[in-house]
Amino acid sequence: MIELQVSFNSDLPGHFFEDLTKMLEDYPDVKMEEAYDAKFSDTRKKGYKIKGKFGARLDPFVGVFIDGNPVRGFYSEVSECTINNIKFYLDAINSKISSFTE
Provide the residue-wise pLDDT of the chain in tens; the chain has 102 residues: 899 999 999 998 889 999 999 999 999 999 999 999 999 999 999 999 999 999 999 999 999 999 999 999 999 999 999 999 999 999 998 877 655 555
Q: Looking at the 3D structure of the chain, how many domains does it have?
A: 1
pTM recorded for the entire structure: 0.90
Q: How far is CA 80 from CA 7, 20, 45, 71, 75, in A?
A: 14, 14, 23, 15, 6
State the pLDDT at residue 38. 93
Domain holding 71, by residue range, is 2-101
Non-local CB neighbours of 70 within 8 Å, separated by 6+ positions: 53, 54, 63, 64
20: DSSP letter:
H
Supply φ then ψ for residue 20, to 5 degrees: -65, -45
CATH code of the domain in which 39 resides: 3.40.30.10
